[in-house]
Amino acid sequence: MSGVLSGAPAARPARSRLRFEGDMRGLMALPALLFMGIVFALPLGLLLAKSVQGADGLTLNGYARVLGDAYYRGVIWDSLTLAFRVTLISLLVGYPAAYALARTGGVMQVLLFSLVFLPLTVSIIVKTFGLTIMFRREGILNWLLINTGLTDGPIRFVFTEMSLVIGMVNVFLPFMILPLYSVIRMLDGRYLDAAATLGAGPFTTFRRVVLPLTMPGIVAGSSIVFAISVAAYVTPGLLIGERYMTMSMVMAKAFLNFRDYQLGSAMACVMLVIALSIVFASSFLTRSLEQRGGR
Amino acid sequence: MNRSKISRRSILAAAGTAAAVTGFPSILRAQTREIFIGGPASPGLTDVLFPLIEKKHNMKILFEGTNSLINLEKIRNNKDRPTMTVTMMDDPVLVLAQREKLIQKLPAEVTTLADLPALAKPADGMWANWCQPMCSASHNTQKVKGVASYADFWDKTYRDGLILISMRITQAVAPLLAATQLATGKPLAECLKLADEGFGKLRELRPNILQVSTNAPQAQQLLETGECLAYLAPDSRTTLFRKAAGAPVDQSYPKEGVIAMPAGVALVANGPNRDLGVTFINELLNPETQAMVAKTFYSKPTNTKTVLPAGLTFPDMVVLDWEYFADNRNKWIERFEREVAAR
């Protein structure tokens, strides 16, 4: 290490050794890359091929059917707006939770961690059915509203967009909290002290110090939640059914009912492009934020 | 100090023990033969019907209960090396299976076929209908006193009170034909080929639709808890089975008629253990089992020699042309999703 810093001739072998070790560390990702190559990239390639495969050779007819049909464009728009709403609410709910998780310790932290992790151990189907029971006309939510005098009679919650959004936030919230927690935990408390010393109030400290420094966590959490929300199938199916069609439901219909692989694959590729755009954009945003923070 | 010696005797003893430990389960397995069946996730199959057949014929039934289209997809994917021997699907899906040569004609060894009417042996005996469940509507008895006509469901008293089964599920033919009947005034039996005329009427039902569901257990649960007033349309296998278990639900018998759902059973083409498959189908269609099927599944038996248990009767049911349904289903799914299910 000292050789590297000194720039002495003796440093050359050390530098190449470091590069070699770096390459070797890169090789550690090989099993994961192989695994993902076989179970993700290969089927994806096949899917892409199916989407442009027509009876008479290559065609973009599948994409024309998806993007040229107002109904399917509506389905894409509905999937995107649903994912956006779920991401936004997850962020608003998840950020304070992640902050509390990172800044507390002892029993409280264990308790908060349990609250984040325990829902992950419960099947989506169980959680979703549980929500349906809670949202019923005779469920606890309506009971509370009526008994607190907020409403005169039961309100319909089941199979509404509101219950869908709440249900999806419930399922995906941990995926927002965990990346946020890992970034907030690394936040150096001395920055907060310095801001306070310079006369900044809590809101200004949050806006000018905490928020910019935790932005990579916000971007990472939001991109994860958005990507899995836009592709959700089970939760929308159980919480609202076919009255709110999503891209995944169209794919299921195309593959299973219609055996229309071209339509299903084209819709899958459209969804993939959306998800990849989000991942690349968030990655770019995180990198530029880090560079700005570094300066 | 005694040294342990490896003798011929100890080797033989060890080999004998190893053979007993590892081989015995195989011997047991060899005595009880296994048959893999794919079929519906209806109540009563794995807990009532199959145990009886297993005991009577010393076979082990490995059953996978799911909806017919998923079942078909599994058979398609294993076409070159089938693992399933028997498939139990509804007729519109068996029509597709027949066209793709995924099932084989029932052989002469299925002797019970002789006692089935021609209508219960579609496509010249490619498969058999082992029962005919009733399909109309199901209502919550604490909220609805009875359903005199399908037209009742269009009344505003049912606002946000109906769950419609998705057109992807065969039973969705009931609300479609009910709408067609109301729109055209034709008898229910003539409505299948006029079904396109029923979509306008079905669209009028939208204010009353709470959900369009592909998840039958969830819909059934919501019906039983009173969250919805009626569910169009599970068949009698579910409704009357749950009624017998004490759930506050009942089959609706609207004046326009009740549709016969076709529950088919077929041999998978080139499936393993064909002889066991034949035994299973013969057992399923024999008059004694059919009487038990009628009582357990609240479905009309197809074997004409069946003596119905005392007190059990079935109304005359409307029998549909399922080949026509299969040919038009995709078009109707598309129309249903765009015109009825969409917000």
Q: Determine, for residues B215 and A237 on separate chains, whether the beta-carbon distance falls below 8 Å.
A: yes
Closest partner CB to A238 (pick from B209, B218, B337): B218
Closest partner CB to A242 (pick from B210, B221, B341): B341
Phi and psi dihedrals of B136, rounded to 5? Answer: -150, -80
Least-confidence region, from A187-201, B26-40, B132-146: B26-40
Average pLDDT on B52-73 reads 91
B14 to chain A, any CB pair closer than 8 A? The answer is: no
pLDDT for residue A1: 36
CA distance B299 to B48: 15
* Chain B CB contacts of A159 below 8 Å: 210-211
Q: Determine, for residues A243 and B337 on separate chains, whether the beta-carbon distance falls below 8 Å.
A: no
pLDDT band at A7 (very low <50, low <70, confident <90, very high): very low
For A175-225, give the DSSP string: HHHHHHHHHHHT--HHHHHHHHHTT--HHHHIIIIIHHHHHHHHHHHHHHH
**Strand B249-252 with B137-140, pairing:** antiparallel
What does the mean pLDDT of chain A come to? Answer: 87
Which residues touch B326 (CB under 8 Å, ≥6 apart)? B91, B92, B93, B95, B96
* Chain A CB contacts of B221 below 8 Å: 129
Q: Determine, for residues A243 and B209 on separate chains, whether the beta-carbon distance falls below 8 Å.
A: yes
**CA-wise closest residue to B94 among B213, B266, B250:** B266
CA distance B173 to A238: 22
Average pLDDT on A264-281 reads 90
B24, pLDDT greater than 90? no
Domain boundaries, chain A: 1-51, 61-294
Least-confidence region, from B5-9, B59-63, B123-127: B5-9
Least-confidence region, from A116-120, A155-159, B78-82, B257-261: A116-120
Closest partner CB to A71 (pick from B212, B213, B338): B338
**Which residue of chain A has the CA closest to B219?**
A238
B5: left (phi over 0), alpha (psi -120 to 50) or beta: beta
Which residues touch A180 (CB under 8 Å, ≥6 apart)? A94, A95, A98, A99, A214, A217, A218, A221
ipTM: 0.77
- What tens digit of pLDDT does each residue of A218-234 get? 999 999 999 999 999 98
Higher pLDDT, B184 or A24: B184
Q: What is the separation of C-alpha B109 from the centre of its chain, rounded to a whole number of angstroms?
A: 24
Q: Which two tokens stand for residue A45?
A: 């390639």
- What tens digit of pLDDT does each residue of A107-121 get? 988 998 888 888 888
pLDDT for residue A2: 37
Q: Determine, for residues A257 and B226 on separate chains, whether the beta-carbon distance falls below 8 Å.
A: no
B59: left (phi over 0), alpha (psi -120 to 50) or beta: beta
CATH topology of domain B137-256+322-341: D-Maltodextrin-Binding Protein; domain 2 (3.40.190)
A4, pLDDT greater than 60? no
pLDDT for residue B14: 66
- What tens digit of pLDDT does each residue of B277-317 get? 999 999 999 999 999 999 999 999 999 999 999 989 999 99
pLDDT band at A40 (very low <50, low <70, confident <90, very high): confident
* Chain A CB contacts of B330 below 8 Å: 257-258
Q: Is B123 exposed, middle or buried (0-12, 13-18, 19+ CB in 10 A)?
A: middle
- What tens digit of pLDDT does each residue of B173-214 get? 999 999 999 999 999 999 999 999 999 999 999 999 999 998
Q: What angle do CA B76, B81, B82 make, to 5 degrees?
A: 60
pLDDT for residue B272: 94
Domain B31-133+261-312's class? alpha beta
A185, pLDDT greater than 90? yes
pLDDT for residue B135: 95
Domain with CATH 3.40.190.10 in chain B: 31-133+261-312, 137-256+322-341
Distances (CA, A) of A241 to A29, A227, A244, B136, B239: 40, 20, 6, 21, 21
Would you state the torsion angle of the CA atoms of residues B235, B198, A78, A82, taken in this order, to the nearest 10 degrees? -30
Share of chain A above pLDDT 70, in %: 91
**Which residue of chain B has the CA closest to A161?**
B343
Q: Which two tokens stand for residue A291?
A: 């560079």
A244, pLDDT greater than 80? yes
pLDDT for residue B284: 96
pLDDT for residue B11: 66
Q: For residue B38, list its beta bridge partners.
A: B64, B87
Q: How far is B168 from chain A (nearest CA, A)?
A: 7
CATH topology of domain A61-294: MetI-like fold (1.10.3720)
Which run of H or of E encompasses A256? Answer: none
pLDDT for residue A8: 45
- What tens digit of pLDDT does each residue of A56-112 get? 889 999 999 999 999 999 999 999 999 999 999 999 999 999 999 998 888 988 998
For B242-293, give the DSSP string: HHHTT-SEEEE--TT-EEEP-EEEEEETT-S-HHHHHHHHHHHHSHHHHHHH
Which positions 209-248 of B are in contact with A (Cβ < 8 Å)? 209-215, 218, 221-222, 225-227
B293 to chain A, any CB pair closer than 8 A? The answer is: no
Axis crossing angle, helix A70-103 with helix A106-121, rounded to the nearest 10: 150
pLDDT for residue A257: 85
pLDDT for residue B31: 54
Q: How far is A72 from chain B (nearest CA, A)?
A: 10
Alpha helices in B166-235 (DSSP H): 173-184, 199-203, 216-224
Share of chain A above pLDDT 90, in %: 55
CA distance A91 to B126: 57
CA distance A159 to A163: 7
Residues from A in contact with B at Cβ < 8 Å: 71, 129, 132, 136-138, 156, 158-159, 237-238, 240-245, 253, 256-258
CA distance A50 to A264: 9
pLDDT for residue B22: 56
What does the mean pLDDT of chain B come to? Answer: 90
* Chain A CB contacts of B218 below 8 Å: 129, 132, 238
What is the tally of helices (H) and strands (E) in chain A? 16, 2
CB count in 10 Å sphere of residue A78: 18
A166, pLDDT greater than 60? yes
Taking the CA of residue B168 as centre, how many other CA atoms within 13 Å lie in the half-sphere pointing to its CB?
A: 24
What is the Cα Rg of chain A in Å? 24
pLDDT for residue B193: 97
